[in-house]
Homo-oligomer: A and B are copies of this chain.
Amino acid sequence: MPISISLDKTEIFDGLTNEQITRLLKRGKEVKLRPKNILFHQGDTADRCFLVIRGRLKLTKLNELGKEIILRYINCGEITAATAVLRNQTYPLTAQSIDETVVIGWDKPTMLALMRQYPDIAINLLGMVYDRIDEVQNRYLEMCTEQVDQRIARSLLRLMRRAGIKTPAGIHIDIPLSRQNIADYAGTTIYTVSRTLSMWEKKNWITSGREKIIIKDQQALVSLAEGV
C-alpha cells in the first residue's frame, strides 16, 4: 500500500507508534478520486470521515438559492468530516478533489472504537478542530467588518500559506484558482475580483493569469489586509 511517509507526521496520530498508525490506516477504506470528483455532497448522510493521503480537496457550501462559497482547501495529511461523522447527520458541505486524490475513509463505529482505544486520537482531533473553528471565526469577523479589497488580500495570503510555492517570479499559489474561486472564497463577485487583481497587477504586487496567481509583494498585501 503506497502510503506516503509524511503521514506519520499527521497530527491526528501524535503519540502513536508507527505500527499502531499502520494498523489504523488498514482499518479504513481507500477511495481514489480523479480530478474534480465529488467525494461527498452537502446533504448526503455523513457516514464516513476522510484522511487525505494524496492530492487535495476543496470544501464548498451552497445556500438555498444555489450561491456557492468556498470554505476551505484540505491538504494532503489532513482530515475532513471528522466531527460530522460522529453526529449521524448529513454533511454540511461538499468535498471535491482538485487533482488526483486518494483518501482513507473511516465510518462512525470504527472512529468510535479507535478513539476509545486511543484517547489521544480524540484529543488530537479536538486540537485540530480548534484550528478550523478559529479560521472560520476569523473569516467571519473579516466578512463582517472589512471591505472587499482587504478580504481579497487576506484570501490570497491564506491560500498562499496553504499552497504557496516559492518561484523566481514570486510565490505561486499552487491551486487552480479562477476569479470565480477567489470570489467564492472572499465572498464577492468575479467582477470585483478581476478589477482588484488588475489594480494590484499594475502596482506590481501580483502576477496573474488564467486560473493562476503569483504573489510578488507579500508585504503590500499584508499591509492592505491589516487596514492600510
Q: Chain A interface (Cβ within 8 Å of chain B)?
A: 61, 63-65, 67, 69, 71, 82-84, 86-87, 89, 92-93, 112, 115-116, 119-120, 122-123, 125-127, 129-134, 136-146, 187, 226-227
Contacts and interface: CB of A to CB of B under 8 A. Distances in A.
A63 B133 contact: no
Q: Which of A71, A83, A89 has the most CB of B within 10 A?
A: A83
A69 B123 contact: no
B83 A141 contact: no
Contacts of A86: 123, 126-127, 130
B130 A133 contact: no
Nearest to A60: B141
29 contacts: A61-B137, A63-B142, A63-B145, A63-B146, A67-B144, A69-B141, A71-B140, A83-B127, A83-B133, A86-B123, A86-B130, A87-B127, A89-B130, A92-B138, A112-B123, A115-B119, A115-B123, A116-B120, A119-B122, A125-B126, A126-B129, A129-B129, A132-B133, A133-B136, A139-B140, A143-B143, A143-B144, A143-B187, A144-B187
Given A69-B144, A87-B127, 7 more contacts: A86-B126, A86-B130, A112-B123, A115-B122, A129-B133, A136-B136, A145-B187
Given A140-B136, A145-B63, A126 B69 contact: no
Contact of A137 (B87, B92, B138): B92
Nearest to A133: B133
A137 B93 contact: yes
A129 B69 CA distance: 22
Nearest to A65: B227
Given A122-B119, A123-B112, A84 B130 contact: yes
A119 B84 CA distance: 18
B87 A141 contact: no
Nearest to A138: B92
